Structure 1
Amino acid sequence: MPSNVEAASDFEQSSCSIFYISPLIRITLILFYFALTLPLPFLAQVSSTPIPPLLLWVGLGLGAIALYGALSERVIVEKEKIQVAYPVWVPRFFRKGWSLPWQDVKDLKMRTTGQGGIVYYFLSQSSDKAYLLPMRVVGFARLVKLVEKFTGIDTTDVRPLSQPWMYLILLGFSLLLLLTDVWVIWTAVNLGKI
């Protein structure tokens, strides 16, 4: 884990740091999505559902694009502000993003989630808004050090929301579910049902 001095010197060399969602999280959630939805068009074809399989394939594709867009979030840290942004192809009505100047940060408040986890919000001085500190990014410890550097807020106790082992377990179960999906689809095709 880099020290404050290392994080500051890395930042000064580039004047802008960009943090992306962890590839482990992205791969796991995309795989989980496909493991849950892939059998639906095949099941629609062998059952008497009123929804045509083609419509399900289109919906599955649109859902995959939406999920990929949501997972394309990036945190941009500059000398004057922190910003959460998405690629230009992601519509603003779907994922908006936000920007907060460092001088406007009043505090970093901890909140508990419904599942018992802990998240942190930036509180703004100029408005009543709270901005969620992104916690699933690669280099989270470095991001927290930059927040401390630019705001002066003590971030010693700020920890990531979830540990990598949680996503590794979900990845394992997603792979098992996907293998089951493949077996069911293969069986249905070989029995002449599709």
Structure 2
Amino acid sequence: MSDGDRSLPSAATEPSVFKLAPLIRLTLLLLYLALTLPLPFLAAMTASVIPSPLLWTGIGLGGVLLYAALTERVVLDSHGIQVRYAGWVPPVFRRGWTLAWSEVTALKPRSTGQGGLVYYFLSRSGQAYLLPMRVAGFNRMVKCVQAETTIDMTDVRPLSQPWMYFILLGCTVLLLAIDLWTVGAALSQTIKV
């Protein structure tokens, strides 16, 4: 069942779960790989003071941390909204949050340093909770929130449009191709020596 086929959450239905958009997840994982893959090979070629095995370990740990951050999901039900991470992600690293619909008083926009808009739920206690904006099915999630809170969300748009991530993905694939060529050239030089 696709995101568009599900109805709005209610007490009689299961919670709706919105995961990070696959395009965003793929792009960020490939960008991380493209930026870090050549480092151990370059360290070996240049006799760096940081040994290649240490770089491989750091890259592996960084990849796990990035993947953990990308397991973010938004869960909506008749009681409220929750932001969760996969069960294996320690709360010390990424902490989710829960906000009951009855606690939501407003949705406030804030501009970003790049000129975009992000939105925060304001609670009765005065705390602000960032509305996740990079989930698959964002428009359906917004409709669900509007139905539960009666806050007018007609002007709420995702922070980044898909075409931006397609451009970033294209640049990332090009960078990865150059990385693979560079690593191949470095390995062929090592074999000749």
**TM-score if structure 1 supplies the norm length?**
0.93
Deviation at 1:49, TM superposition (A): 1.4
Instruction: Kindly report structure 1 stretches of 4+ aligned residues shifted beyond 4 Å.
Output: none
Paired residue type of 2:128:
A
**TM-score if structure 2 supplies the norm length?**
0.93
Cα deviations by residue, 1:72-118 (Å, 9 ceiling, x for unpaired): 00000010110000011111111001000000001000000011010
Identity among equivalent positions (%) equals: 56
Aligned position for 2:22: 23
Q: 2:8–2:144: 8 Å Cα contact kept in structure 1?
A: no
Q: 2:109–2:117: 8 Å Cα contact kept in structure 1?
A: yes
Structure 2 Cα separation of the partners of residues 42 and 128 of structure 1: 51
Structure 2 Cα separation of the partners of residues 78 and 133 of structure 1: 15
Q: 1:83–1:99: 8 Å Cα contact kept in structure 2?
A: yes
Cα deviations by residue, 1:5-56 (Å, 9 ceiling, x for unpaired): x87x442463310000000000000000000000000011011311110000
Structure 1 Cα separation of the partners of residues 138 and 185 of structure 2: 44
> RMSD of the alignment, in Å?
1.8
Structure 2 Cα separation of the partners of residues 36 and 192 of structure 1: 22
Cα deviations by residue, 1:120-178 (Å, 9 ceiling, x for unpaired): 000010x2310000011011011101111111100111011110000000000000000
Q: 1:121–1:131: 8 Å Cα contact kept in structure 2?
A: yes
Paired residue type of 1:86:
Y
Structure 2 Cα separation of the partners of residues 43 and 81 of structure 1: 50
Structure 2 Cα separation of the partners of residues 10 and 132 of structure 1: 21
Aligned position for 2:41: 42
Structure 2 Cα separation of the partners of residues 81 and 11 of structure 1: 10
Aligned position for 1:159: 157
Q: Give the number of equivalent residue pairs.
A: 189
Q: 1:15–1:79: 8 Å Cα contact kept in structure 2?
A: no
Unaligned runs of 5+ in 2: none
Aligned position for 2:70: 71
Structure 1 Cα separation of the partners of residues 99 and 59 of structure 2: 35
Structure 1 Cα separation of the partners of residues 86 and 111 of structure 2: 30
Q: Does structure 1 residue 53 correspond to structure 2 residue 52? A: yes
Paired residue type of 2:188:
N
Unaligned runs of 5+ in 1: none
Say which is worse superposed, 157-166 or 9-18, in terms of deviation. 9-18
Paired residue type of 1:166:
M
